[in-house]
Structure 1
Amino acid sequence: MVFKKLSKKDRSTHNITLTNLQLKMEKDKMDKKVIESLTLVFENRLTEMGVEGFQKWLNDLHFRTPEEFLNHDYALAIYDESRSWFEKEVIKLEKETGLPWQEQAEDLKSEDERIRKTQLVLRHRISEMVLDLLG
């Protein structure tokens, strides 16, 4: 039997569903408030874009911050609700990548560390979820 590694373009997005994303967030022990915030964003996108558009949007994010979390007030509110979770995740990312979080977040524009941490963690964890669901 021959296995070939599928390119990002060839992978099927059929497993990217709201239910699967929620199950993955719970399995990954994401903070309850973060799950609620992401679910709201995902539900709005799904309604706005339809299933195929939503799946394409998530697949195409690939380590970029969803637009909703580029809003500084929104990102700060999410951070404030789940501060300890975000701080733990930043430490995990530093261990996983071997890079300080500031270096990982160099491309993020905000002067506020809390906002950059939120954006960094969310873009990384969302991308990991999508990659896992793609198989």
Structure 2
Amino acid sequence: MDLHNSDASVFSETMLLESSMRSIPPQKWWRAANQNKLPKGFTEFAVSLFNLPAGTASLERNFSSLGNILTKKRNRLGVEKASKLCRVNQTLHKTGEEKVPTSRKRKWFDSINSDENM
């Protein structure tokens, strides 16, 4: 779809300016389009593309978390309960990381060294 040669009723002239395209988030830009002039579901599809993760790291973290939850002894969990446990696990890890920066975490041997110096 060539946006510059498209019908002016789909996108206003200000939306096609480069400054607008740089300053407005893509989701808002697509939602500002005239929905009646685009194919049905096209805007939702375009917006969903911008919500996809850029890399596979988050997907790998999800599978790792799920692997720790679904074990040989804990194999009867349903999909819904496993998903909820995954979400709880990730939320706990996120809040833990935000509270204490990695560089400031005490190592177990730090307490041993401080005890010896006394």
| TM-score, normalisation: structure 2 | 0.28
Larger Rg: 2
Could you tell me the TM-score, scaled by structure 1's length?
A: 0.25
- Higher relative contact order at CA 8 Å, sep ≥6: structure 1 or structure 2? 1
The structure that is helix-richer by fraction is: 1
